[in-house]
Chains A and B, each alone.
Chain A
Amino acid sequence: MSSSDAVLAMENVSKKFRRGEIYDSLRDLIPALVKGVGKRRAADALGAKEFWALDDVSFEVRRGEAFGIVGSNGAGKSTILKLLSGIMRPTRGSITVRGKLSALIEVGAGFHPDLTGRENIFLNGAILGMSREEIRRKFDEIVDFGGLRDFIDTPVKRYSSGMYARLGFSVAAHVEPDLLIVDEVLSVGDYLFQQKCIDRMTSILKSGTTVLFVSHNLHAVTELCQRSLLLEKGRLLACGPTDEVIRQYIGRAQDQRSGETTRIEIRDVALRNAAGESAKFEPSEKMYVDVAIAARQACADVSIVLQIVDDNFYPIFDTCTARLNSGNSAALGTGEQLECTFELDMHLGAGTYHVNVYAHEYTVDRPFATWRSAASFFVGETRLVKGRANLYPRMPRCQLVTAPTHGATPNEGQTRLASPLVAPRG
């Protein structure tokens, strides 16, 4: 499966970890050694406290490609990065890495608090694989990038945590590797600095560097990476075009359901569009959400709250049955089921969203049952808009205004568009 332009390949890689304490002192080791004599386990057998952090993972990344890794916490993303960067060795399988690899995993690791910013730039640069000559050449660029010129001769222990992280990112961003691993590090610093980081990343990408991008921000992965892989509990579930991988990921997104002991239970939440598609929606189409709740005991004043959150779980929309039903909540008898369908217009920008459902006791504002991430969906890309909301822009006028010259009428040079760029909805 290995092709010639693969700069990175993992073949049947597995990594075993151990839960609990390992022998940390001789007192623990000696009895263990005595017990272990003659009982050498095969490499692929699991001991009592062992588990596979990665289980038979194979993939390859081509040169110049941006490749994403997605998965929930504990799926094995960091383990893959540590194996690739050579910090750990796989229990089984082989890894091929071609070219200089650099990892933006922990910015500022290796800073010494007693050393000044200047001294730490040289030290950290060398740790990340730059030669002293290279650091000297890029020194001014690094300092200006972090915006820390006034504090460059101050020990970093006097830095604020933001300054510390900025210095760390500045150094790391100036290593010129053939293969760059980025692990959730773009969230450093204030808004302006983040913009700077993103510009820097763009130029690194344009220079043809291969990038391995690990993020919980699915939107970022979709934008950045052509291909991705999905991990779950150490196993590779999917590897291919990012859109498909992410669709599979959100399809499997772990539900957080509670309310098993309350009077009301949320039975079912399902999304669909007019054609029956359940995960991907196009801007301007309608989404139907079917919710079913059941009462274990009789309840008055029940309403269903529907909330939509973005990929960072920030609420962007909510509604509820009582509000839609002019303030009237429902009353359920024991064993009765309430089914309702919400009809929503997809005025959202491209990205991933999750649906939370709450069964509420409306009078006391207390939830009976909650189901977070009951369903997830994503809204497809359009060329025309970016961002959370889709305001369906049109452009009725696009006028080139030249300097007023003698005899020219203001209307001259105006371009009338033959048709609106986006058809008005309706």
Chain B
Amino acid sequence: MNPNVPISALARPAEAVVGAGGVSRAPLPAVTRLTGSMADWLREIVARRDLLILLAWREIKVKYKQSVMGFLWAILMPALIVSAGVVVKFAFATVAGKPLDNNDVVSVAVRSVPWAFFVASIRFASTSLVSNANLVTKIYMPRVLFPIASVLSQLLDLAVATVVLALFLIVTGAHLHVQMLWLPLLLVILVLLVTGLAIFLSAAALFFRDVKYIVEVVITFAIFFTPVFYEVSMLGKWARFLLLNPVAPLLEGISAAVLGRPMPLVGWVAYSAVASVVIFVGSLFFFRRFEPYFAEAV
């Protein structure tokens, strides 16, 4: 502190001290940080939703700042994945000697968009705590907001890509189907699964930097084990192994719903839903269990 500043300016007037003890005021609520129950923990997360929204908004804002294309990237990225899928599809069709079906293109497009959301969310969210280390070690807040905010910011990209995709489908002559009523449910399951994985991976990456590299490798190769550019029915009796990946039934379902086919694999979708809830709840418990050690582990 600057010795020139007259500290006496800080001296409290005596009456303020007396008043504090003498005047009866409502007792303050006890605050439980790191020590409360699961319910307290969840309540605080809900109470800090303003912060959640601002953190998500920060990620969006920062992502597109100082880039010439700006927000167009939100459209361009899924468009590139869709184009890649169409190329793969075209190659398949050529090898099989069949003409490329319009439905095949639609199918690849509607699988690619949620897949792009999945990959981007996991990639950003798993480093969300490490890259906010200065906040984790200096200021208290519910840290679970960081991975959730990452997913939230990716949801905006998903929404933009979905609108563009819808326009594309309308132009190519798609129709509305009753089956599309499945879409909100399938998307909710997908978001739950992504959020659960994000929460788990962000905490794990804080303790072990290895997690970051494992995640990179897995999501790079996961496109081979996930029915994005192909359909599980192409694999015959091996399909069930592929469907153990909880993302697979969701992508199959989304594709079927958009194309107006009857929902296949309802049992597998139910499996995905159960797996997602288990992963989500399990991640919350995992995160809460290890949160007290974050500041020391960073």
Contacts and interface: CB of A to CB of B under 8 A. Distances in A.
A260 interface: no
Contacts of A206: 12-13, 16
A276 interface: no
A220 B140 contact: no
A341 to B, nearest CB: 30
B129 to A, nearest CB: 13
Contact of A98 (B30, B51, B61, B141): B30
B139 A194 contact: no
Contacts of A386: 6, 8
A218 to B, nearest CB: 10
A220 B66 contact: no
Interface in A187-231: 187, 191, 194-195, 198-199, 201-202, 205-206, 208, 215, 217, 219-220, 223-224, 226
A107 to B, nearest CB: 10
Given A25-B209, A217-B1, A101 B31 contact: yes
Interface stretch (B21-29, B220-228, B249-257): B21-29
B16 A98 contact: no
A97 B1 contact: no
B53 to A, nearest CB: 8
A25 B54 CA distance: 32
A353 to B, nearest CB: 12
Nearest to A28: B208
Contacts of B62: 112, 114-115
Interface stretch (B101-109, B119-127, B235-243, B289-297): B289-297
Contact size range, A = 35 or more
Interface in B130-144: 134-141
A127 interface: yes
Contacts of B51: 126-127
A64 B8 contact: no
Contacts of A64: 16-17, 19-21
A215 B1 contact: yes
Contact of B3 (A24, A95, A105, A312): A312
Contact of A132 (B54, B135, B295): B54
B58 A123 contact: yes
Given A105-B139, A112-B62, A132-B54, A224 B7 contact: yes
B35 interface: yes
Contacts of A163: none
A345 B58 CA distance: 61
Contacts, number: 170
Contacts of B25: 63
A61 B3 CA distance: 28
Interface string A386-397: 111000000000
A173 B217 CA distance: 45
Given A26-B208, A215-B1, A223-B11, A126 B54 contact: yes
Interface string A125-143: 0111101100000000000
A99 B54 CA distance: 24
Interface string B58-78: 100110011000000000000
A20 to B, nearest CB: 13
B10 A202 contact: yes
A29 interface: yes
Nearest to A219: B7
Nearest to A62: B21
Given A99-B28, A132-B50, A224-B10, A25 B16 contact: no
A148 interface: no
Nearest to A29: B208
Nearest to B12: A205
B234 interface: no
B5 interface: yes
Contact of A65 (B20, B135, B210): B20
A63 B7 contact: no
Contacts of B48: 126, 129
B9 interface: yes
Nearest to A185: B1
B172 interface: no
Given A86-B34, A127-B139, A194-B2, A223 B58 contact: no
B54 A123 contact: yes
A82 B48 CA distance: 20
A294 interface: no
A351 to B, nearest CB: 9
B12 A224 contact: yes
Contact of B10 (A24, A25, A198): A198
A306 interface: no
Contacts of A115: 58, 61-62, 65
Contact of A198 (B9, B13, B295, B297): B9
Given A86-B140, A202-B9, A109 B61 contact: no
Given A63-B21, A98-B30, A312-B3, 12 more contacts: A26-B210, A63-B28, A87-B136, A87-B139, A97-B31, A109-B134, A123-B58, A129-B141, A132-B53, A195-B9, A217-B1, A386-B6
24 contacts: A24-B208, A25-B208, A63-B25, A63-B28, A64-B16, A82-B295, A85-B33, A86-B33, A86-B34, A87-B138, A87-B295, A88-B34, A88-B295, A89-B34, A94-B35, A109-B135, A112-B62, A131-B50, A132-B50, A187-B1, A195-B9, A201-B10, A215-B1, A223-B11
